[in-house]
Chains A and B, each alone.
Chain A
Amino acid sequence: MSYTIAEKILLNHSNHKSVVPGQFIECEIDLIMVHEQLGGRIHKEYEKLGIDYVWDPNKIFFILDHWVPAPTISAAEMHQDCRIFAEKYKFIHNIGMNRGICHQVLPEMGFSRPGMLIVGSDSHTTTYGAFNCLSTGIGATDVSVVFATGNLWFKVPESFKINLKGKLNKGIMSKDFILKLIGDLTTKGAIYKSLEFHGDGVKDISIDGRMTITNMVVEAGAKFGVFLPDVKLTKWLEERTDITYKYVYPDKDADYEKEFNYNLSEITPVVAKPSNPGNIVNVEEEEGIEIDQAFLGSCTNGRMEDLRIAAKILKGKKIDPNTRLIIIPASTDIYKEALKEGLIEIFINAGGIFGHSTCGPCIGGHMGVLGPDEVCISSSNRNFVGRMGAPSAQIYLASPATVAASAINGKITDPREVL
């Protein structure tokens, strides 16, 4: 049998001798990530089981990130509930609320490694596929099942092969590529599929950029997004973990349901128009639309690469006085690095607001909630109705470069004009 990466990793975590797409199998989980959902719903569900242990307190990564520090009494209560649970079941990796957003912090701490099978109480758990492992989101009841047994049922997915060649041009980011891909696939085009990223083009995409891509595959419905490994990944992991791992490559004659080819040098800046991440148009078509807020942050685009390009665009300039620019790093480590590099000063001098790491505005939680009819350009991953605040607010998704360029002009702007 020849296997795709998804088939291989699932097979390795089951007690089957072979697998085929469509098959239901039980798999052993290497790591489970949970955030506020723990207090929101998991706790209540888990109690129904009536057991006083978890299968392995060492394989649970628990973090608070969505509403930190708590902006409301109900969020604070949710956090209290989370802490009670984590202490009761003696979680070893109890990360707290001062490290940043789950999907950034977990890889930074070396917890996502090639070949692993990771699940999380969050749909963007797909992010860890940038590290040549399989990872996907599950709901509270599934989390409870994993807490109790360490196992979970999976349907073996079909895979799409995405061949990348060429290099992104100046001012174009991996965000533009993944938005384009979602636009082409549509938001339902990859439901249940595993997207495997291949080709010469991969080597020129930074780890930050790969994370942006795997983060958003779920917006096309995908179950997994996974990159082939390379030296960039080796280097990244060397700096973060001593634990050994083995790379996973697909077999040469593995079966793919579909194949797509992209030349990265042909990608241009795009935006997702309200209120669907698959609503993709070239930035030119929306240029001139006035914005009230520009948001740079989230688990999609709050990394150093993102902050650096924004700083390059904003250096020595002022944002439009009628626009707010909110910048939130994806983790505290990134915060410190931005501080060291002098980026924060550039943002503040330009008129931006720089905050501590949290999901915050991405989920309409705090630190930049949108008012009625306001227009926002955001580097996050979802522009659903009401996602960032008032249901009448309009959200455009774009790359960090486009967000920064738009903040300067107070209207949607092609970043190539200001770089």
Chain B
Amino acid sequence: MIDKIEGYTYILGDDINTDDIVPSNALTLRDTTEMAKNTLRYLRPNFVGMVTKNNIIVAGENFGTGSSREEAVNVFKILGVKAIIAKSFARIYFRNLINLGIPGIQLNWDKKKFSHGDHLEITLNKGLIFNKTKNKEIDFKKLPDFLTKILEDEGILNQLKKKLFKG
């Protein structure tokens, strides 16, 4: 169960769209690990090399706008991104995040709260982020129980499996 998440911030801007995250021409790649190598290829050519297993993406408004392609969540999962904090999320993207078991946290933030590479500790069920680098506590609105339950089950398919095979 994901309750406490620890990681380092990677800052992105507003309106990062699903074509930015997975360019269309990488979408027909059959191998998802290969596809993940294209993550943010045009926008941040160094991203794949820099992102580590413990990154927390911190983005601006309307994160994940655009297509319904779930690949745009899955590539982050493959790269080991632990959570995504954004000022706002596009609807389908937010669903896809939760469904794949990655916490999406909606929070208005500025440079005083986060800068690049900050060490964060997120406690999901308390709605609390501790920025260790800045020695600062930040509150966020907890997810509804309904969604937290999906994250606890590590994604909606796992949850569904439990339901389908419980009897």
When the two chains form their complex, are residues A148 and B160 in contact, meaning their CB atoms are under 8 A apart?
yes
Known pairs A121-B68, A138-B68, A365-B24; A188 contacts B95 (CB<8 A) = no
When the two chains form their complex, are residues A386 and B19 in contact, meaning their CB atoms are under 8 A apart?
yes
Give 1 or 0 for each of B42-79: 1 = CB within 8 Å of chain A CB.
11000000000000000001100111111101100000
A interface residues, tally (CB under 8 Å)? 48
Known pairs A385-B42, A386-B19; A363 contacts B24 (CB<8 A) = yes
When the two chains form their complex, are residues A221 and B42 in contact, meaning their CB atoms are under 8 A apart?
no
Q: How far is the CB of A239 from chain B (nearest CB, A)?
A: 30
Q: Which residues of B contact A137 (CB under 8 A)?
A: 68, 92
A104 and B29 alpha carbons, distance in the complex (Å)? 27
Q: Is B17 an interface residue (CB 8 A)?
A: yes
Closest to A78 in B: B28
B interface residues, tally (CB under 8 Å)? 42
Q: Is A153 an interface residue (CB 8 A)?
A: yes
When the two chains form their complex, are residues B157 and A48 in contact, meaning their CB atoms are under 8 A apart?
yes
Q: Which residues of A contact B91 (CB under 8 A)?
A: 136, 191-192, 221, 223
Q: Which of A69-77, A323-331, A398-406 lines the interface with chain B?
A: A69-77
When the two chains form their complex, are residues B28 and A141 in contact, meaning their CB atoms are under 8 A apart?
no
A145 and B29 alpha carbons, distance in the complex (Å)? 24
When the two chains form their complex, are residues A141 and B88 in contact, meaning their CB atoms are under 8 A apart?
no
Q: Which of A13-21, A37-45, A198-206 lines the interface with chain B?
A: A37-45
When the two chains form their complex, are residues B70 and A141 in contact, meaning their CB atoms are under 8 A apart?
yes
When the two chains form their complex, are residues A145 and B28 in contact, meaning their CB atoms are under 8 A apart?
no
Q: Which residues of B contact A122 (CB under 8 A)?
A: 67-68
Known pairs A41-B71, A74-B30, A191-B91; A24 contacts B99 (CB<8 A) = no
When the two chains form their complex, are residues A187 and B156 in contact, meaning their CB atoms are under 8 A apart?
no
**Residue among A139, A149, A153 with most chain B CB within 10 A:** A139
Q: Which residues of A contact B15 (CB under 8 A)?
A: 187-188, 276
The answer, among B61, B69, B88, B160, for a CB contact under 8 Å with A49, is: B160
A136 and B92 alpha carbons, distance in the complex (Å)? 9
Q: How far is the CB of A160 from chain B (nearest CB, A)?
A: 14
The answer, among B19, B161, B165, for a CB contact under 8 Å with A384, is: B19
Q: Which residues of B contact A77 (CB under 8 A)?
A: 30
Q: Which residues of A contact B165 (CB under 8 A)?
A: 50
A187 and B20 alpha carbons, distance in the complex (Å)? 16
Q: Is B100 an interface residue (CB 8 A)?
A: yes
When the two chains form their complex, are residues B70 and A41 in contact, meaning their CB atoms are under 8 A apart?
yes
Q: Which residues of B contact A191 (CB under 8 A)?
A: 62, 88-91
A387 and B90 alpha carbons, distance in the complex (Å)? 18
Give 1 or 0 for each of B83-126: 1 = CB within 8 Å of chain A CB.
00000111110011001100000000000000000000000000
- Chain B residues numbered 23-47 whose CB sits less than 8 Å from any CB in chain A: 23-25, 27-30, 42-43
Q: Which residues of B contact A145 (CB under 8 A)?
A: 99, 156-157, 160
Instruction: Give the interface of B toward A (CB within 8 A).
Output: 15, 17, 19-20, 23-25, 27-30, 42-43, 61-62, 65-71, 73-74, 88-92, 95-96, 99-100, 144, 146, 155-157, 160-161, 164-165
Instruction: Give the interface of A toward B (CB within 8 A).
Output: 24, 37, 40-41, 45, 48-51, 67, 72, 74-75, 77-78, 120-123, 125, 136-142, 144-145, 148-149, 153, 187-188, 191-192, 221, 223, 276, 363-365, 382, 384-387, 391
Known contacts A67-B28, A188-B65, then 16 further A-B pairs from the complex at CB < 8 Å, ordered by chain A residue: A24-B146, A37-B69, A41-B69, A49-B157, A74-B28, A123-B92, A136-B91, A139-B69, A141-B100, A141-B156, A187-B65, A221-B65, A276-B15, A382-B19, A385-B20, A386-B19
22 pairs from A and B in contact (CB 8 Å cutoff):
A37-B70, A40-B28, A67-B28, A74-B30, A78-B28, A122-B67, A123-B92, A138-B68, A138-B92, A139-B92, A141-B99, A142-B95, A149-B160, A188-B61, A191-B89, A221-B62, A223-B91, A382-B66, A384-B17, A386-B23, A386-B42, A391-B42
